[in-house]
Amino acid sequence: MRLNVSWAFALMCTAATASAGTSVDALRDGHVVKEIRVPKGKTGRYGHSEVLIHAPVESVRKQVLNFGQYHKMSPDKFRKSRVVKRHPKGDTDVYLQFGMANGMISFYTLARFAPPRLEGQTEVIEGKQIEGDVRDANIVWRLEPVNDHETLLVCDTILVPDFYAPESIVEEELRDSAEKAVLLMRGRAEADYTAQQKKANSAVVVKPK
């Protein structure tokens, strides 16, 4: 008899401010918020993570829009990520393939990412499933500049395949996936920003008197 399953896995970024009880200052030591929550305007329990990145919003945006690297967020779960189409109005279709049960099961989603939009000072980058062999998938990132060289990145997500798993396992997957996502973006954005600064400093030429 076939098992009817409802397994939820999430990766979406939302919220421009640190969670209740967490200040931006508390994130400056490298702390990462990692929890389950229902984002505003959404239904269901999402994996949620947020991190402070020591790089300007431009460097963070560059990494979030690098859809081809998404499989590196969690190599044990993400198998492939590639851009399959770019639309004239700025939308981007991204193919994502996932694996579970030690690679014995795989599934995919084709998500359409809209161009970044502003909500106040916060940039929102969201991808919604347009086809796939899962029930639903939604990926959203929110980037809020704290100052000229720091950015708050917050992540929530949902992907719902047709498999069952205990709620405790589902929520662990959600939290871990969101955390790995923001950590990847932090590492890459800070490395990119550092490289840009070094390049700029090396380009400075001191003219002799």
pLDDT digits 0-9 by tens, 131-150 = 998 888 888 899 999 999 99
Per-residue pLDDT reduced to its tens digit, 137-196: 888 899 999 999 999 999 988 877 777 767 887 788 878 888 999 999 999 999 999 999
Strands, DSSP E only, in the chain? 33-37, 46-53, 78-86, 92-100, 105-113, 117-119, 122-132, 136-147, 150-160
Inform me whether the pLDDT recorded for 14 exceeds 90: no
Residue 89 has, within 13 A of its CA and on its CB side, a CA count of 4
- What architecture is the 24-201 domain classified under in CATH? 2-Layer Sandwich (3.30)
pTM for this prediction: 0.84
Closest CA to 60 of 10, 116, 109: 116
pLDDT for 131 equals 95
